[in-house]
Structure 1
Amino acid sequence: MTEQTERPLAEPRPLGEIRSWPRSFADRLTAPLPGVRALARLAREGRLRPSAASLHELALLPLEPGPLPAVDAGSLALTWAGHASWVLRIGGLTVLTDPVWSRRILGTPPRVTPVGVRWEDLPHVDAVVISHNHYDHLDLPTLRRLPRDTHLLLPAGLARWARRRRFAHVTELDWWEAVELPGPRGPVRFDFVPAHHWSKRTLTDTCRSLWGGWVITAPGGPRVYFAGDTGYGFWFERIGEAYADIDVALLPIGAYDPRWMLGPVHTDPEEAVRACTDLGARVMAPMHWSTFLLSAEPPLEPLRRVRAAWEAAGRPRKDLWDLPVGASRVLTGV
């Protein structure tokens, strides 16, 4: 693995920059990808989805869709649409993270909770950040609902994909790089940071584009970290060292069972709490659960475990924003 330890650039890169990249980012992997033997073991064990006995928990998944809160340019509002999709109002901008408003995505059963925010209720979307190209994070039917002049902020290697679909304002970044978008109180900064994951969208493009998370900072604060999809590892501590005073960390807690298969690329609830500590973030908002059944844990288990892990870590209960799908929180006076 090529280990990158440089800090974010002092100056943001130009928006819409045309760039060249290596043919593969496989040297950024922090664990080998599963091979034929691992896939055969998974098929033998039959642990691809929750057991039938646990599916009664689907009726108990938290869902509280409501109106988007009114906020000013100095506040931060977070609304969980489900999975890794958030509506962020920060620095006077509206930002979507990994937006998936589709009921079905390729290779996955249909969503088990509806989207928490109706598309028609969204304000004008200023930007979209994408963590990587897996279908449950990069959903073309959803992106096609956006105006083609929406800013798309992408991992390295994905700009050509977006431009071919006629998006006009596309910027791709390497780890530790940043761009800025103008806001009513000054520029909002978007930094692309490492993650313990991988990329693949077709049979021939494994690791041809990068993967990562985003640190989004409004002028004078607040600061939000969106992890995207990631396993646990050393990058969290490095990100925390590079970006002081993270107010809220949006961290994945689901799709982790079986651990021998998914551990390197998906944090479990206890690891997510540990990652929040490594980051130095004050608030943790769990995500990547209760939307698609991607693995074998019971539907409500991630919520039970993250609450227990948060309490065991001695963190204040008010700083765990374990939101129902569709719910919002507002942070003021940062």
Structure 2
Amino acid sequence: MTRRGVLAALAAPVLGSAWFAHARGRNPYYEGPVTDHFDGLRFFNPDHRWSKTPVEAFRALTLAEKEPWPLTWPSPFADRPPARVEGAGLRLAAIGHATHLIQTAGLNLLTDPVWSERASPVGFAGPKRANPPGIAFDDLPKIDVVLLSHNHYDHMDLETLTRLHLRDAPRVVTPLGNDAILKARDPRIRAEAFDWGDRVELSDKVSATLTPAYHWSARGVTDRRKALWAAFAIDAGSAGRIYFAGDTGLAGGAIFTEARERHGPFRLAILPIGAYEPRWFMKDQHMNPADAVTAFRLLGAEHAVGCHWGVFRLTAEGVEAPAGALAEALAAEGVADERFRALKPGEVWEAPVA
């Protein structure tokens, strides 16, 4: 990869959709009919179309004042999960950033698994972990299904997905186009691609429906928005329903209201609370903690856990800022702290016994 390509790919998790020149070209990942969110080449959010100029991107990523981060910020927690959680039990372990182990109804699910040291296309540069994964890879139980929300490097880690395939051969359920990226890495990876609104049976008791998120996609210079991004609404039967946002902005909040109406009520929502400063630049694609509390209310969720913070430095806020801002936002809205927790790697949330 050229130096230009490396820099572009490293910027992919945080750059706006107009950072690179629009190249018509072809879509190397997906071919399909035009829809209300696909123009024949690129995907888009029909109710939240946004862009940022190269000058704005430079200001946000290079010139913005940044709060300091420590080189390491280890979590005091480490989890050794059970082999399975059966029946109506629901256990979630935070592994770090957007990676979680969800255990319910006898099924082991991983979201956006990243065990690599960097969220980057190369091993020598790019955002580096401030703390290790909350579950050591070798301590993972057998993984049945991976839910992969989109292709940014802090969410789609090909090295980790290859390791998982070699160990457990899980199904990888992902939005349109991302299967091509995975199979280009290893054709044996069991990648299955779906559109917004598609319901996928994960077992005889658990299903997941892909729902819209306010985000975008890119792995390099010319492929922005050529693969789809999504959130997931998980129906685990008697264990309840779970919402995993992946990565998203709030915008007008319509996607959360729609998710509640179509797929709720939710027992648990997994919502990003980090990578949000400078706000003028990041708000279209990333929620801040106050936005996440609004999304929590719109979803009508009983409980929530906050993720996407404290692991990889992507933006300008400090390492502890999201957790502090979440506490302030909850207090301002009169929501009890225990209903929305900012989990550190290795922390566990278990559904209260009814």
Give TM-score, length-normalised by structure 2. Answer: 0.82
Q: Please, what is the CA RMSD of the aligned residues? A: 2.1
- In the alignment, residue 317 of structure 1 is paired with which amino acid? D
User: Is the CA contact (8 Å cut-off) linking 2:90 and 2:239 kept in structure 1?
Assistant: no
Point out the more displaced range, 158-167 or 232-241.
158-167
Inter-CA distance 44–203: structure 2 relative to 1 (3 Å threshold): closer
Question: How has the CA–CA distance of structure 1 residues 215 and 27 changed in structure 2, closer, same or farther, with 3 Å as cutoff?
Answer: closer
Q: Which amino acid aligns with 1:67?
A: R
- What residue number does 2:153 align with? 135
Alpha-carbon offset, residue 265 of structure 1 = 0.3
- For the pair 1:202 / 2:220, whether they are aligned, the reply is yes
- Mapped partners of 2:58, 2:329: distance in 1: 33
2:10 matched to which residue of 1?
Answer: none
**Are 1:67 and 2:87 counterparts?**
no
Structure 1 counterpart of 2:244, one-letter code: F
Closer/same/farther in 2, CA of residues 43 and 72 from structure 1, 3 Å limit: closer
Aligned residues: 309
Deviation at 1:168, TM superposition (A): 4.7
Q: Which residue matches 1:14?
A: none
2:147 aligned partner, one-letter code: V
Residue number in structure 1 paired with 2:105: 91
Measured after TM superposition, the shift of residue 36 of structure 1 is 1.5
Which amino acid in the other structure matches residue 112 of structure 2?
D
5 Å-filtered alignment, 1:264-279, equals 264-279=284-299
Distance apart, 1:24 and its partner CA: 1.4
Work out the CA distance in 1 between the residues paired with 2:347 and 2:143.
19
What corresponds to 1:326 in structure 2?
A: 346
Q: How far has the Cα of 1:187 moved from its partner?
A: 2.8
- Equivalent pair of 1:78/1:89 in contact (CA under 8 Å): yes
Note the C-alpha offset of 1:58: 5.8
8 Å Cα contact 1:63-1:113 kept in structure 2: no
Q: Kindly indicate whether residue 173 of structure 2 is the aligned counterpart of residue 153 of structure 1.
A: yes
Gaps of 5+ in 1: 1-17
Structure 1 residue aligned with 2:14: none
**Counterparts of residues 201-240 of structure 1 (less than 5 Å):** 201-233=219-251, 234-240=254-260
1:179 equivalent to 2:192? Answer no
SS of alignment partner, residue 160 of structure 1: helix
SS in 2 for 1:144: helix
Q: Using the alignment, how far apart are the partners of 1:311 and 1:44 within structure 2?
A: 33
**Separation in 1 of the partners of 2:196 and 2:188?**
22
Provide the rounded CA distance (Å) in 1 between the counterparts of 2:243 and 2:233: 4
From 302, 312, 315, give the equivalent of 1:282.
302
Distance 1:63 1:166, change over 3 A: farther
1:169 to 187, 190, 204: 190
What secondary structure, in the 3-state scheme, does the structure 1 residue paired with 2:247 have?
A: coil
Question: Among 325, 333, 343, which residue is 1:313 paired with?
Answer: 333
Q: Is the 8 A contact 1:74 1:332 kept in 2?
A: no
**Within 2, Cα distance between the matches of 1:168 and 1:291?**
27
Does structure 2 conserve the Cα–Cα contact (< 8 Å) formed by 1:251 and 1:286?
yes
Using the TM superposition, give the Cα deviation of residue 151 of structure 1 relative to its aligned residue in structure 2, in angstroms. Answer: 0.2
Classify the secondary structure of the residue corresponding to 2:42. coil
Structure 1 CA distance for aligned equivalents of residues 266 and 333 of structure 2: 18
Q: Alignment partner of 2:102: what SS?
A: strand
Verify the 8 A CA contact 2:197 2:210 in the aligned structure 1.
yes
Deviation, 1:97, is 0.2
| TM-score, with structure 1 as normaliser | 0.86
**Structure 1 residues 246 and 57: CA distance shift in structure 2, 3 A:** farther
Shift in CA distance, 312/208, structure 1 to aligned 2, threshold 3 Å: same
Aligned-pair CA distance for 1:73: 3.2
Q: Which amino acid aligns with 1:102?
A: S
1:300 counterpart residue number: 320
Taking only the aligned residue pairs, the percentage that are identical comes to: 33
1:255 equivalent among 259, 267, 275: 275
CA distance in 2, matches of 1:298, 1:179: 38
Partners of 1:135 and 1:118 lie apart in 2 by 20
My pick for the range that moved more, 312-321 or 297-306, is: 312-321
Q: Which one of 110, 113, 120 corresponds to residue 128 of structure 2?
A: 110
Q: Deviations over 1:112-167 (max 9, x none)?
A: 01111000111110000111100000000100101253201011111222233223
2:93 is matched with 79
> Are 1:108 and 1:292, in contact at CA under 8 Å, matched by a contact in 2?
no
